Structure 1
Amino acid sequence: MKKILISVLTMLTVIIGSLNSVVAEAAQDNAVGKAVESRETAAVQFTDIQGHWAQAAIQDAVQRGYVDGYPDRRFLPNQQVSRAEFIKMAVSALELEAASTSSGSWYAPYVTAAESAEIYKAGDYADGNLTQRMTREEMSKLAVKALGYKNVEDKQWMYLASKDGIISGTAPGVISPTGATTRAQAIAVIERLLQVKSGKELPVDKYAVAAAEVYWHKTNIFSVAPEIFNGPDNHNKNVGIDSWKLSKLQFGAPDGSVVAQVDELIAIDWNDPKDPNRKLLPSKDKMVWVFGAKSNVFTDDLQAYVLILKSHYVVNKKPKSYPFDRLSLNILGYNGKPNGSNLNMPYAIESKDSKRQVNGLVIPKTGFSTRGNLNVIVETITAGARVYQSTLSRSILIK
């Protein structure tokens, strides 16, 4: 009888234990479900994101759990983000391990995690103050590091970030490197970063890429006219975009008597009426391309790029030998002979508008052939004195 009673009690204990386990698991699942539901509800119920351009990204970020709103049901999407806050968001979104600590600032564990993952290092910010606002360039730098880029040049961060679709412009052709980062912008960048890391190809703001290239190394020819200057055959360090170096932009006499400087070389797509750099050109009826005494008007169907050279130089000896305060631009490597009526190679451009003068070339998109490579060259304009020149880039182009 005792054995039977003991067996019954044992079975009851097992059953009760199992029931408790089921109840506990159900309670845990319910708690997790409520937490997820709470996040989803919070994302939907924020009072200040309805219709905001980043609404979807904000909702995704809240559901992922790396950012929250405020107790008053506001998200404050346009509030500026500090460097520490952005690092915390990025570390959490990338699921990097941030060990808790009882000492130091609240953001110390996230900074340590970011340093371990090599997406941030001390010295990334000039003043070293992590509580200061995050700029768009600083945000781009962390994102580019998170994508695994190495050996990045100074000011190249925004170019790489825009080229991968991580950032876009604040206006057509405007990237605002020193502009503040808002909570909405920070989340949009992190969401795009996660998508790129997962292998997704994002849409790219081509005007932002071109502007970021100018910000990086004073030209946009490789972004605006890649098929001419940075085609698939330009895959080593000596040609294409890698042949352009800031050190080549200043040149002149060894004794310093003539110092020439290329300020910018801007490419404009003549066939894109929305190209933001068209503002550099005079109106269509005031611009011609020339060969000798022959002038040709620019027409809408002219398949071409316009290259505008901004330059200057200082002459410390015999200034009358260098009568122009600008450099000339040429591109060598085209086949054929210039004829002044057919755009088959680079031709000089002129402005008939005295208030908007231009210095540069028009180059064809089609209907030309090359000797296998193109060299972009600038040189001083002299009156019988020595000519100084610099080859800015070399591109392989077989046509």
Structure 2
Amino acid sequence: MNNTHLRTKKIAKAGAALLLVASVTLTSGAAVTASEPGGAAVSAVLAGSAAVQTGSFSDIAKHWAKSSIEQAAKKGYVNGYEDGTFQPNRQISRAEFTKMLVSALGLTVGEKRDGEPWYAPYFAAASKAEIASASEFNNNVDKPLTRVEMARLAMKALGKKLTGYEPERFEIGHTFDEFKAYGDDHFNPKKYLYYATQAGVIGGVARGVIAPDNSTTRAESITVIERVLTVKGGGKLAVDKYAVQAAELYWHKTNVFSVMPEFFISKDATVNYDPNKLVVESEDKNYKSVIDSIVAIDLADPNDPNLKLLPSVKKLRWYARPNKPGIPLDKFMNSYLLFIQGHVVKADGKYARYAGSSKIDTYIDRPFTANIEDFWNGKLVNIASVFVEGGQIDDRELYLFPKKGLTYDPTEGSLTIYLEVPGTGIIQHDSVLSGWPSF
């Protein structure tokens, strides 16, 4: 796969085993009854149950999703249990979520044929609406739904169609609405979670934690479905920026485009980045340098979840002048810190050790004009290399990007990060990320 350029303007859990009443009235007026493993089938109507009718379940009074659960119950696309509970933290299966989503969207559901499982009509409706099919889960629809799967179904319900193969780099810097308008027809399992966070449909389970492979609970499912309904109704959702950044890192192995886009994304310019090509091999085939992640950290944000990746900021210094003490980084907190992590391996796949280290080496072409004397005297007028006090060697490459004080010179070319690899003769390097500042 060749690197290409992107024109950013144009492309644009659960207690006793009880029965979950998973049923709705079909278009024919017949009722479908759905039973969970360990439960006996009962009527889905439960007309005398006040909890089913009003959503006043006995176990959600202090639950974070109380409001969404009550709304969903009143709308009729989810019910509780016979004992008046809702069991919000119970895992939900792929089939159950699909049934809930189809019902919430008001899709037409056909009759269940003899011999078919209870969920067949719902998957048929979801398939017709190009949301989901049982086959895309290899028909393992009784398995717990993961968060990344939930994101996929939610975004497809909003019209995001992604089928086939898509090189991730084509989507850098673009929004869900742009790709919806562009008619993107490609598939990458991870991208749905990114777009779902970007749209506010999914947030983090903790600050900066998206847990893509975690199973989904009933409460989480209903919350997401309610958000889908809000968006379809023209409403706006709050966006968890840390979830967006984590989803981008999950998808692209970097979060620079959501944390510090002004350094790499410019109107009518190009971004050159392929997360599948963060490897450079030496000409003699003895070594490979591999980037595992490129993490942007906003030092001005004390809540940035990736600060935990660093030693104490008080131990960090930036290089101003060779053979001189480094300058304390904590005096320059209105900056981004770029943390490039990786490793070097030998041809046999084992970690390489050369010059006492297995760390990668990188360097940056900096298209900024700066007075070198000012830089040497401790003024952060350019991107600076960062080290840990004591000079210890590890697998980190750190760079300090000041938010202010840089003068960009377009004639100097793009802002480019290069990855080096050891080998016989000259050190080889390749560009792994290239973009154009927008300031």
| From 270, 273, 290, the counterpart of 1:261 | 290
CA displacement 1:283-307 (0-9 Å, x = unmatched): 1221111122342112355310001
Letter in 2 for 1:346: I
| From 126, 138, 156, the counterpart of 1:114 | 126
**Within 5 A, what are the aligned runs for 1:65-104?**
65-103=76-114, 104=116
CA displacement 1:23-78 (0-9 Å, x = unmatched): xxxxxxxxxxxx899578531x2100101100000111111111111221111111
Match of 2:402 in 1: 364
Match of 1:128 in 2: 139
Letter in 2 for 1:228: F
The answer to whether the 8 Å contact 1:378/1:392 transfers is yes
SS at match of 2:418: strand
Q: Relative to structure 2, which stretch is displaced further, 192-201 or 171-180? A: 192-201
CA displacement 1:90-133 (0-9 Å, x = unmatched): 111111111112320110011011111111145533x5300010
The 1:390–1:337 alpha-carbon spacing in structure 2 relative to 1, beyond 3 Å, is: farther
The 1:356–1:200 alpha-carbon spacing in structure 2 relative to 1, beyond 3 Å, is: farther
Match of 1:293 in 2: 323
Match of 1:215 in 2: 250
The yes-or-no answer on 1:56 pairing with 2:67 is yes
CA displacement 1:270-290 (0-9 Å, x = unmatched): 001111111111112211111
The whole-number CA distance in structure 2 between the counterparts of 1:301 and 1:254 is 40
Match of 2:311 in 1: 282
The 1:332–1:345 alpha-carbon spacing in structure 2 relative to 1, beyond 3 Å, is: same
**Within 5 A, what are the aligned runs for 1:1-20?**
none
Match of 1:153 in 2: 188
The whole-number CA distance in structure 2 between the counterparts of 1:121 and 1:288 is 54
- 1:244 is displaced (CA, Å) by 2.2
Letter in 2 for 1:389: H
Structure with greater helix share of residues? 1
The whole-number CA distance in structure 2 between the counterparts of 1:353 and 1:133 is 49
How much is the aligned-residue C-alpha RMSD, in angstroms?
Answer: 2.7
The answer to whether the 8 Å contact 2:201/2:224 transfers is yes
The 1:398–1:335 alpha-carbon spacing in structure 2 relative to 1, beyond 3 Å, is: farther
The whole-number CA distance in structure 2 between the counterparts of 1:316 and 1:182 is 45
Q: Looking at both structures, which has the greater relative contact order when contacts are Cα pairs under 8 Å and sequence separation is at least 6?
A: 2
Match of 1:386 in 2: 426
Q: Looking at CA atoms only, which structure, 1 or 2, has the larger radius of gyration?
A: 1
Letter in 2 for 1:264: S
The whole-number CA distance in structure 2 between the counterparts of 1:73 and 1:356 is 60
The 1:249–1:322 alpha-carbon spacing in structure 2 relative to 1, beyond 3 Å, is: farther
Q: Relative to structure 2, which stretch is displaced further, 349-358 or 280-289? A: 349-358
CA displacement 1:229-282 (0-9 Å, x = unmatched): 235x16x7x42xxx3212321222366333221100111000011111111111
The yes-or-no answer on 1:350 pairing with 2:387 is yes
The answer to whether the 8 Å contact 2:291/2:342 transfers is yes
The answer to whether the 8 Å contact 2:91/2:215 transfers is yes
Match of 1:5 in 2: none
The 1:91–1:304 alpha-carbon spacing in structure 2 relative to 1, beyond 3 Å, is: same
The 1:262–1:366 alpha-carbon spacing in structure 2 relative to 1, beyond 3 Å, is: same
The whole-number CA distance in structure 2 between the counterparts of 1:248 and 1:296 is 34
The 1:329–1:95 alpha-carbon spacing in structure 2 relative to 1, beyond 3 Å, is: farther
- 1:387 is displaced (CA, Å) by 2.4
The answer to whether the 8 Å contact 1:322/1:381 transfers is no
Match of 2:175 in 1: none
Match of 1:16 in 2: none
> Identity over the aligned pairs, expressed in percent?
36
- 1:342 is displaced (CA, Å) by 1.5
The yes-or-no answer on 1:174 pairing with 2:212 is no
Aligned length: 356
SS at match of 1:359: strand
The 1:160–1:36 alpha-carbon spacing in structure 2 relative to 1, beyond 3 Å, is: farther
Using the size of structure 1 for normalisation, the TM-score is 0.82
The answer to whether the 8 Å contact 2:94/2:143 transfers is yes
- 1:386 is displaced (CA, Å) by 2.6
Letter in 1 for 2:388: S
Match of 2:362 in 1: 328
The answer to whether the 8 Å contact 1:268/1:305 transfers is yes
Match of 1:377 in 2: 417
The answer to whether the 8 Å contact 1:312/1:327 transfers is no
